[in-house]
Amino acid sequence: MKFKLLILIIPIVLVLMSFAIFLFVKDLFLPLSKGGEEITVLVPKGSSVTQIGNILEKNKVIKSGLAFKLYVRLTNSQNKMQAGEFEISPSLSLIEVVESLEKGPREIFVTIPEGLRKEEIAIKFAKALEKDQKFIDDFLLLSSDKEGYLFPDTYLFPKSATATQIVNKMTSTFNSKIKEITYEQLIVASMLERETLGDSEKPIVAGVIYKRLNQGWPLQIDATLQYAKDNIKYKVVNTENKYWEPIYLADKETDSKFNTYKYLGLPPAPISNPGFLSLKATKSPESSDYWYYIHDTKGQIHYAKTLDEHNGNIAKYLR
């Protein structure tokens, strides 16, 4: 008798438990509140689904970060969400919150790496913020004398941002981060950013550049010749972003003050927008016995004290 009763009770208990779990899960998907103002939520670049769920829960946009994670994984929505700043109402259901994240942020992260010229920066912002050619033209007009001062960083801008706002933000960031630097040092830093591949190289190469300047040697820096070559080749913005193209022997005759094979001293202006470490190394160069350097095909730098040693490195590592 007891066994038969148990057989009848167990299914009922299981049904009740399943129903309770269903109600519990359903509640997690419901809006956290019926009203309330939109909440500003910042989703950092590279955030995982778990991190985004935790951010939403912490900001009281959803009830459960775990429920968010499970739903996103089940619907394969993780690749549709972007980083940036969102305005989300707690009156939305969890599903509606996910849909809001998929539509894209109000403000977008744009990362500008070290060593780009202003044209490349204009193109990056135009693509990220879905701007047209007029934006690029405006950006280049406003930054015509600001090469070197457009500080490389990760910026957060709305799609409605103007070229003026972006140029002003980049230059103000430079001014807030970099103190007491001369224009000559800025030019050296811009070359250093293009000439080095590792942070440890920067102070040594900076020292080599200053030694050559002080002794009246030609700098013979390939990056300045690339800059000169591209200035001549691309009279309008190269939207394919093919700047810094390889140089050849004939290019060394290019008639430009940026050609440090042909003209002594520094080029007349920065050739790129350097980052903090290049700017720091320019202000604190490292003394050495080296006068030459090359990078091999694997990116490893090789220094030389004499021209014969330098030519030997070229023959050994580049031929």
Give yes or no for a contact between 226 and 240, defined as CB atoms under 8 angstroms apart: no
CB 222 within 8 A of CB 247: yes
Span 48-73, average pLDDT: 85
What is the token pair recorded at 174? 């430079």
pLDDT > 70 fraction of the chain, expressed in percent and rounded: 87
What is residue 39's predicted lDDT score, i.e. its pLDDT? 83
161 within some domain: no
Give residue 248's domain range: 184-317
* Residue 16 within any structural domain of the chain: no
Average pLDDT over residues 103-114: 88
Sign of CA dihedral 137, 266, 112, 241: positive
**Mean pLDDT along residues 53-67:** 84
Contacts 24+ apart (CB under 8 A), 2-10: none
206 confidence band (pLDDT: 50, 70, 90): very high
At residue 281, the pLDDT reads 96
Instruction: Give the separation between CA 40 and CA 44, rounded to whole angstroms.
Output: 13
Looking at 21-25, 60-64, 98-102, which range is the least confident one? 21-25
pLDDT digits (tens, 9 = 90+) for 95-106: 888 888 888 788
- Range of lowest pLDDT (26-40, 103-117, 224-238, 293-307): 26-40
Q: Residue 24 has what pLDDT?
A: 41
pLDDT of residue 57: 87
Taking the whole predicted model, whether its pTM rises above 0.85 is answered as no
Mode of pairing for the β-strands spanning 292-295 and 107-111: unpaired
Q: What average pLDDT does the segment 137-164 reach?
A: 95
In a domain, 59, yes or no: no
Q: What pLDDT is attached to residue 10? A: 52
Q: Is residue 147 part of a domain?
A: no
Is 243 part of a structural domain of the chain?
Answer: yes
Domain tally, the chain = 1
For the record, the structure tokens of 290 come out as 């080296």
Asked if 83 and 45 count as a contact pair (C-beta separation under 8 A), the reply is yes
State the Cα–Cα distance between residues 172 and 169, nearest whole angstrom.
5
- Please check whether residue 154 is in contact with residue 111, taking contact to mean a CB–CB distance below 8 angstroms: yes
Would you say residue 207 lies in a domain? yes
Residue 303 maps to a domain: yes
Longest C-alpha distance within the chain, in Å? 108
Give mean pLDDT, residues 226-247: 79
Whether residue 174 lies inside any domain: the answer is no
The amino acid present at 38, given as its one-letter code, is E
